[in-house]
Amino acid sequence: MAEQPATRIDAHFIAAGKYHDIDYARLEVLKLLMEHPHIRTTVAPDYSGLDRLDQCRFLVTYTCDLLPTKEQAQQLRSWLEAGGKWLALHGTNSILVFTENGLVDAPDDTTGLMEMLGTQFKAHPPIGPFPVEVVNKDHELTRGIDDFEIVDELYLSDTTAPIDTLMQTTFEGEATGFTKEHWDKTTVPILYTRDIGKGRIVYNALGHCRGHYDLPGMADFYPHKEMCAWNYDVYYDLLRRGIAWAMREGE
């Protein structure tokens, strides 16, 4: 009989939001967590119930346009400062508002979430290929991974606090449909860490997915499923590395 880990690890996973196939992302992340039988995970549809974090070593989020209250954001920060670990994925840093002329705005955050995360989404160009450069090749999250090209939704973000970039790309051009449409050449963090007190956030901006039924009120049936980074082994490698980091005690 295979030897089992001696100590249970508790985790909390918030998977919810708009314009994405949250069901698919939720299932895929849970399958990766289940590769470790001693991880026990609770799943939530929003930022309520954060008292659960007191029992958890780490938090995972896959969200889009989902904000905590100011009180919940402070609860998250206090947990991080005490040593919590947060694996934040794709749209966790997004706030989306449609303007009267049909453009998508990303208004400044007032809850404290975006300052905590270190970035805030502002726009994205049409889904397409872009190169990803590994700028820190000696980190546990990137070691042995070469530069690669991927097809995904490239999140263009403002930096809101100091971050340590591990992977990045560059972008210059148009983000059609957003209020911040034109972008001069800019460096875009793809994978980074942010330390808060004794805790740390690992943010992986890859991972867009959209199914046929994920635009209610906009399109009853979205004809072309978008799986983006979920089609690539390197993305699953990065997710597994993120989970391995989150499981371990200490940084």
**Domain range enclosing 162:** 9-247
Residue 1 belongs to some domain of the structure:
no
Give the 3-state secondary structure percentages of the chain, helix then strand then coil, rounded to 5. Answer: 25, 35, 40
Q: Does a structural domain hold residue 171?
A: yes
Predicted confidence (pLDDT) at residue 164 exceeds the cutoff of 60? yes
* Span 190-205, pLDDT tens digits: 999 999 999 999 999 9
Question: Which pLDDT score is estimated for 177?
Answer: 96
CB count, 10 Å around CB of 180?
Answer: 14
Distance CA 75, CA 69 (A): 10
User: Residues of the chain with pLDDT > 90: what percent?
Assistant: 96
In a domain, 190, yes or no: yes
Question: Does residue 6 carry a pLDDT above 90?
Answer: no
Query: What integer is the mean pLDDT of 206-226?
Result: 96
Q: Is the pTM of this model over 0.95?
A: yes
Q: Is 123 domain-assigned? A: yes
Q: What is the pLDDT of residues 30-55, one digit of tens each?
A: 999 999 999 999 999 999 999 999 99
Q: Is there a domain that residue 3 lies in?
A: no
Minimal CA–CA distance to 243: which of 90, 84, 39? 39
- What CATH number is attached to the domain comprising 28? 3.40.50.880
* Residue whose C-alpha is closest to residue 167's, from 140, 137, 194: 137
Which pLDDT belongs to residue 249? 86
User: Taking 80 as the threshold, does the pLDDT of residue 25 lie above it?
Assistant: yes
Rounded to 10 degrees, the C-alpha dihedral 174/176/180/182 comes to 20
**Is 249 or 38 the better-scoring residue by pLDDT?**
38
| Contacts of residue 67, Cβ cutoff 8 Å, sequence gap at least 6 | 47, 95, 109, 111, 113
In a domain, 145, yes or no: yes
**Cα gap 148→107, rounded to integer Å:** 32
pLDDT (mean) for 211-216: 97
What is the number of domains present in the chain?
1
Confidence of residue 2 (pLDDT cuts 50, 70, 90): low
Q: What is the pLDDT of residue 245?
A: 98
Examine residue 2 and state whether it is found in any structural domain, yes or no. no
